[in-house]
A = this chain, B = another copy of it.
Amino acid sequence: MIIVMAPGSTAEDLERVKTKIKSEGLDYHLSTGTSRTIVGVIGDKKAISELEMHCALPGVEKTVRITEKYKLVSREFKQENSVIDVGGVKIGGPEPVVMAGPCAVESMDQLMEAAQAVAEGGAQFLRGGAYKPRTSPYDFQGMAEDGLQMLRKAADKFSLKVVTEVLDQRTVEEVAEYTDVLQIGARNMQNFQLLKEVGRAGRPVLLKRGLCATIKEWLNAAEYVMSSGCDDVIFCERGIRTYETYTRNTLDLSAVVAVKELSHLPIIVDPSHGTGRRSMVSPMAKAAIAAGADGLIIEVHPHPEVALCDGDQSLTPEEFKKVMAEIKRMSAILREE
């Protein structure tokens, strides 16, 4: 059960609720957001039922029964869709939001060229990795803080927001300084310490699905972020690992529908990692929007043939502009329905 404290409730009200919970032999989990405080009650089901009947305490707005382990994340907890506002860009609203840019930050020139291209194409966000999780320790690991500075500079020049990955608990604060949205990569989806730290960093979080995570595990990972204090989680489907080898991953677009059914949070799709093949990015981007995704994250590189990573799956600026135009027309049609 979750107890939602009323907006104007006092510290005493909260104290009274906590005492009541403890007196029933139960425990609680506190989530203090900017506008409201939520008390998640944990423990024996019977005791929770008892408590529910006697919970008409001052300062309590409502109590909500949640049947799944994930609570703050669930559609049961919040009926209406969450719209996440990132400095005026609204994720989860009627317009799809597009994040685009190179896999890795390589140089100021590359980034400026990329930023211009994605801005002209109509993207709202510049993406790019300054810290790269690589299978081998001998592969390019990213430009670190230099890369973050370049990202910010290029984005600002073209009025774009920044989304970039954070890999390391110790650099969460540093990365948060430069970025508008903190990205958790697929390999870290169940790095629970990192989830808790980004949850406390005061930035919206883009949570990629793990390589073989179930939908429910993914929702539980988001619950780690939300229960650490961050209300603004955006899911990102990026393909799952299957036996098929023709594509790099198998992009699971039904996950878009599933997340929308089970959660109030927005979800975007990454057709670049989801397929690993340039020729598939555009058709799968359109399919994602048709399935109901709130946006896309797409790899765009001014010169894919010389990219330090993921060149095979990066669109050229021209290809990007073309698919953006198609998506715009398609999503206008879909909105009318």
In the bound complex, residues from chain B placing their C-beta under 8 Å from that of A40 are: 138
**Interface 0/1 of A255-274, CB less than 8 Å to B:** 01110010000000000001
Q: How far is the CA of A272 from the CA of B334 in the complex (A)?
A: 21
Contact between chains at A254 and B275 (CB < 8 Å): yes
Contact A135/B220 with A283-B290, A333-B330 known, Cβ cut-off 8 Å: yes
List the B residue with the shortest CB-CB distance to A291: B287
Q: How far is the CA of A275 from the CA of B71 in the complex (A)?
A: 25
Contact between chains at A252 and B244 (CB < 8 Å): yes
Contact between chains at A137 and B254 (CB < 8 Å): no
Query: How many copies of the chain does the oligomer comprise?
Result: 4
A76 beta carbon closer than 8 Å to chain B: no
Within 8 A of B (CB), among A229-244: 240-244
List the B residue with the shortest CB-CB distance to A188: B191
In the bound complex, residues from chain B placing their C-beta under 8 Å from that of A309 are: none
Q: How far is the CA of A194 from the CA of B217 in the complex (A)?
A: 22
Contact between chains at A242 and B245 (CB < 8 Å): no
List the B residue with the shortest CB-CB distance to A292: B283
Contact A69/B191 with A242-B242, A257-B284 known, Cβ cut-off 8 Å: no
By Cβ-Cβ distance, the 10 closest A-B pairs, closest first, are A212-B212, A290-B290, A287-B291, A187-B190, A69-B136, A287-B287, A286-B290, A168-B193, A287-B290, A215-B246
7 more A-B contacts (CB under 8 A) besides A170-B170, A283-B291, A330-B333?
A42-B138, A169-B169, A212-B241, A240-B250, A244-B252, A253-B253, A284-B291
